[in-house]
């Protein structure tokens, strides 16, 4: 009887344990089901929030910054942390965006500045010291003015400027801009032009003021404000597309540089450094040296040297290359469907060579490159194109200027305030010809005072501008 009782008790215990195990299995299964739904929902949110990061990562893959490894690590991290909190994920996403955009910490910048100083000559170190002292004593308003090159009409608020008198002096006293660009309407005769430029520079440099860039588009061929003016005794050249040797390119640059210098100019927005890879392109068809990147490198380099030897600043344009574009940025939307790898095979080659040879200025065009940056933002307003690629990837530490901001690609799609802020945030040092200078100036001043753009960022551009002015001007 006792044995039967023991057996009954044993069976009851087994049944009890089985019920407990079954209940636990059901509970665990239910928990896993809920967890699976949570992960699915969470992964969906992460994918939505990660779209911007993935576009940036794709762009940086094009510019060769180990994106394959980065994306793999990011995917692995997402799988491992799917159940993490939303706050944690947002933090990780922000870090990813900063990494993909190539942002540098203050410590990185300080290290970079020290490395740059080590490479400077004794004269350059002295100039840097002088420039830093000047910047320290400048007001924010004075600094921002240096970041503009404008037409004399925009500077003075007066139509058809052909002389520099009281209106010009008063305008410079209030808005001491970095430079002025002149066009055919400002040019009437040799004596008139010489006096115009002489007086403008005199007003700028009174009381130890900072001299101005006095610039012009004088490429030769179809773009020559002076060369094509019958009232001037200046050598006229054929279109740059007809150049057939380095010697010829140098002669054109040097001849133009000499007569520009004689009248008082110190900056020529030339040479055109585009590679004409699209035969249907009409924007630079006659202005580009060649469809061959190798020839453009040789001829643009020789032309720039010719200008420099005449004490003129040279300017490579239009980064990342107008020779492959569809559309005309003067009138509206212009784009190229090339990837970064494709651009680097031809369009970027002259700019890379110019960087190697310390070209004075690089002009960024209003060219959209959707297969590089992921959208249609013009290069002149794109941080990826200006800072991540031109500045960081290609290593250019000189002055970056926008193409004319009153062109259709900008003026038809952005307000003056939007385009100004975007260009400076992108990394441009000089805003060329905004459609409304005062609006542009005031919007940038307001943005800096509000803290959206730091004064340190403004100082970076002004430092480059003043160092460039020290390079060829005696002040």
Three-state SS sequence of 54-98? HHHHHHHHHCCCCHHHHHHHHHHHHHHCCCCCHHHHHHHHHHHHH
Active site residue 403: yes
Q: Tokens in use for 305? A: 């040297």
The DSSP secondary-structure symbol of 390 reads I
Total residues belonging to the chain: 475
Catalytic residue among 272, 347, 353, 403: 403
Please state, in angstroms and rounded to a whole number, the distance separating the CA atoms of residues 269 and 284: 14
In what order do the strands lie in the sheet containing 399-402? 315-319, 361-364, 399-402
Q: 136: buried, middle or exposed (CB in 10 Å: 19+, 13-18, 0-12)?
A: exposed
Q: Could you tell me if 387 and 102 are in contact, meaning their C-beta atoms sit under 8 angstroms apart?
A: yes
Reference 403, options 444, 361, 436, 432; nearest CA is 432
Can you name the residues that pair with 378 across neighbouring β-strands?
Answer: 368
Q: Tokens in use for 301? A: 């380099």
How many whole angstroms from its chain centre is CA 287? 23
Please state, in angstroms and rounded to a whole number, the distance separating the CA atoms of residues 158 and 23: 89
Residues 6+ apart with CB under 8 A from 226: 187, 193, 216, 218, 232, 234, 259, 260, 263
Catalytic residue among 328, 330, 436, 459: 330
**HSE on the CB side for 272, CA within 13 Å?**
26
Q: Tokens in use for 122? A: 């004794």
Which residues are catalytic, by number?
A: 330, 403
């Amino acid at each position: 009887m006792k044995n039967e009782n023991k057996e009954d008790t044993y069976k009851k215990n087994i049944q009890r344990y089985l019920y407990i195990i079954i209940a636990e299995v059901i509970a665990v299964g239910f928990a896993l089901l809920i967890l699976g739904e949570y992960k699915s929902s969470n992964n969906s949110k992460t994918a939505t929030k990660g779209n911007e990061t993935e576009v940036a990562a794709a762009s940086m893959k094009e510019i060769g910054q180990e994106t394959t490894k980065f994306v793999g690590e990011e995917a692995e991290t997402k799988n491992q942390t799917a159940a993490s909190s939303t706050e944690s994920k947002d933090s990780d996403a922000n870090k990813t965006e900063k990494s993909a955009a190539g942002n540098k910490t203050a410590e990185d910048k300080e290290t970079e500045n020290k490395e740059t100083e080590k490479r400077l000559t004794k004269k350059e170190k002295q100039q840097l010291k002088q420039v830093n002292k000047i910047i320290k004593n400048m007001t924010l308003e004075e600094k921002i003015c240096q970041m503009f090159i404008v037409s004399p009409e925009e500077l003075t608020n007066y139509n058809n400027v052909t002389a520099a008198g009281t209106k010009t002096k008063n305008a410079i006293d209030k808005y001491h801009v970095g430079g002025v660009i002149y066009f055919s309407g400002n040019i009437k005769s040799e004596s008139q032009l010489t006096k115009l430029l002489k007086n403008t520079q005199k007003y700028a440099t009174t009381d130890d003021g900072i001299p101005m860039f006095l610039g012009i588009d004088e490429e030769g061929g179809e773009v020559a404000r002076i060369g094509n003016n019958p009232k001037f005794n200046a050598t006229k050249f054929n279109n740059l597309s007809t150049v057939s040797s380095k010697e010829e390119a140098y002669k054109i640059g040097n001849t133009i540089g000499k007569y520009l210098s004689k009248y008082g100019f110190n900056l020529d927005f030339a040479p055109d450094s585009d590679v004409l890879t699209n035969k249907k392109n009409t924007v630079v068809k006659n202005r580009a040296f060649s469809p061959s990147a190798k020839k453009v490198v040789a001829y643009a380099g020789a032309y720039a040297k010719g200008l420099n030897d005449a004490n003129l600043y040279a300017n490579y344009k239009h980064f990342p290359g107008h020779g492959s574009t569809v559309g005309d940025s003067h009138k509206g939307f212009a784009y190229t469907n090339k990837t970064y790898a494709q651009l680097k095979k031809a369009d970027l080659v002259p700019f890379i060579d110019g960087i190697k040879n310390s070209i004075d200025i690089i002009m960024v065009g209003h060219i959209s490159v959707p297969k590089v940056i992921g959208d249609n933002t013009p290069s002149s307003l794109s941080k990826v194109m200006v800072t991540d690629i031109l500045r960081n990837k290609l290593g250019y530490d000189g002055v970056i200027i926008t193409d004319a901001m009153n062109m259709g690609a900008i003026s038809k799609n952005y307000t003056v305030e939007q385009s100004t802020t975007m260009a400076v945030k992108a990394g441009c040092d000089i805003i060329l010809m905004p459609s409304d200078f005062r609006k542009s100036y005031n919007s940038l001043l307001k943005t800096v005072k509000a803290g959206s753009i730091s004064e340190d960022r403004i100082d970076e551009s002004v430092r480059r501008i003043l160092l460039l002015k020290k390079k060829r001007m005696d002040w």
